């Protein structure tokens, strides 16, 4: 590789790394507790648990669950209803002032077998909520999400340029060599490059899925425009279905399960919400396998008649978004995968921190630079 080309890649790597490093450090630090959010929730006592009952205990209707939820917040509407991912005996209802998207929500947990109120957990406060908001949007909403997405793109550029530079940088050293006998900066330089290569694939996957996740809101809005617009043509000019005129939500769920058999419920979006239309209960169904459980099938059920209006296949970009979310946090493989994700996250923190150190502690002056260059490979490949 020609020296000029190396310098170009070095410049790209240096500045893409420097611009995004502080934000990537923040994401790694906040992402670490999010990997173990269920476990931390149990320790903090914020996880909801259902009481022990015989396995054949009958379940109440969805309408009863909604009735209990509304009794807790009569001034609010049910925006979403979904079973807990880890305990199917628990229903969660999301209550908001209006069906429109908002950060002002209340959660109600209800026993699916008895209809008893279990808890009203607050997911918009506390340590884990602060970690989540910092990780997702820096408390800045969509602009914050898009900004972090751009930082993620810079991270991907830094990774690619680092790979290009690794080979010429290591041409005089054995793979994985860490020169402990030299200055601390040289030792950290070698460790930085070693850990960077070790975490390469994981960091690229997590960075890429993170970028995809920041596009969630625009992708959902496009999905509404792309697929719901044609479905809603027969409803043009009709007012939204008043709550008093809506049919049984249990009937909507049963109709959706009959229309797409062999699926399980992911969640129900009520009329006027971000995932539905003003005229439908949209029932989102999922597969029963670890992978297919991440792929959803929307079924639009007329909220007044409980007739299935449409069941358009989920578009590829929504499937990509759904698959990327658990992959980003290591939710696929249980505890072993969580531990692997945590170890790699810590290694990445070391890579990012050492990159900042290498840049701040870089040699000053031509004499010192020439002396260093005579004792080590070309440091234009330094990851900083």
What's the pLDDT tens digit per position in 205-243?
Answer: 999 999 999 998 898 888 877 877 777 778 887 888 888
Distances (CA, A) of 87 to 37, 82, 110, 194: 16, 11, 12, 42
Whole-structure pTM value: 0.80
Give dist(CA 131, CA 47) in Å, integer.
Answer: 17
Sign of CA pseudo-dihedral 60, 65, 68, 74: negative
Q: What is the mean pLDDT of residues 274-278?
A: 87
The CATH architecture one would assign to domain 47-120 is: Roll (3.10)
Query: For 254, phi and psi rounded to 5 degrees?
Result: -65, -40
Residue 376 confidence class, pLDDT cut points 50, 70, 90 = very low
Give dist(CA 375, CA 172) in Å, integer.
Answer: 11
With CA atoms as reference, report the closest residue to 216 among 177, 166, 274.
274
Residue 383 confidence class, pLDDT cut points 50, 70, 90 = very low
Portions of the chain given CATH number 3.10.450 = 47-120
Give dist(CA 219, CA 53) in Å, integer.
Answer: 41
Give dist(CA 11, CA 337) in Å, integer.
Answer: 35
């Amino acid at each position: 590789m020609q020296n000029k080309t190396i310098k170009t890649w070095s410049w790209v790597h240096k500045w893409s790394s420097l611009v995004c490093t502080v934000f990537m450090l923040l994401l790694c630090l906040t992402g670490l507790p999010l990997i173990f959010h269920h476990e931390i929730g149990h320790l903090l006592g914020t996880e909801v648990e259902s009481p022990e009952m015989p396995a054949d205990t009958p379940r109440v209707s969805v309408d009863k669950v909604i009735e209990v939820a509304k009794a807790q917040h009569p001034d609010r509407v049910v925006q979403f209803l979904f079973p807990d991912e880890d305990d199917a005996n628990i229903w969660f209802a999301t209550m908001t002032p209006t069906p429109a998207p908002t950060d002002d929500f209340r959660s109600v947990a209800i026993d699916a077998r008895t209809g008893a109120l279990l808890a009203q957990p607050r997911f918009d406060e506390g340590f884990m909520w602060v970690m989540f908001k910092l990780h997702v949007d820096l408390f800045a909403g969509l602009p914050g999400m898009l900004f972090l997405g751009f930082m993620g793109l810079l991270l991907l550029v830094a990774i690619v340029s680092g790979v290009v530079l690794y080979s010429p940088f290591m041409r005089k050293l054995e793979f994985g060599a860490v020169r402990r006998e030299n200055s601390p900066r040289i030792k950290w330089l070698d460790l930085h490059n070693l850990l960077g290569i070790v975490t390469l694939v994981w960091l690229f996957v997590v960075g890429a899925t993170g970028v995809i996740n920041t596009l969630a809101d625009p992708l959902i809005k496009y999905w509404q425009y792309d697929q719901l617009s044609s479905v809603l043509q027969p409803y043009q000019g009709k007012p939204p279905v008043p709550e008093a005129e809506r049919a049984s939500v249990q009937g909507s769920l049963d109709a959706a399960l009959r229309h797409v058999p062999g699926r399980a419920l992911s969640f129900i979006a009520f009329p006027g919400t971000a995932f539905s239309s003003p005229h439908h209960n949209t029932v989102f169904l999922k597969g029963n396998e670890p992978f297919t459980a991440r792929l959803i099938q929307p079924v639009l059920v007329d909220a007044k008649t409980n007739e299935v209006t449409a069941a358009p296949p989920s578009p590829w970009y929504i499937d990509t978004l759904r698959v990327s979310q658990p992959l980003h946090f290591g939710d696929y493989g249980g505890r072993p995968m969580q531990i692997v994700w945590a170890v790699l996250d810590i290694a990445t923190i070391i890579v990012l921190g050492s990159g900042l150190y290498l840049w701040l502690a870089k040699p000053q002056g031509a004499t010192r630079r020439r002396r260093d260059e005579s004792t080590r490979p070309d440091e234009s490949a330094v990851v900083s």
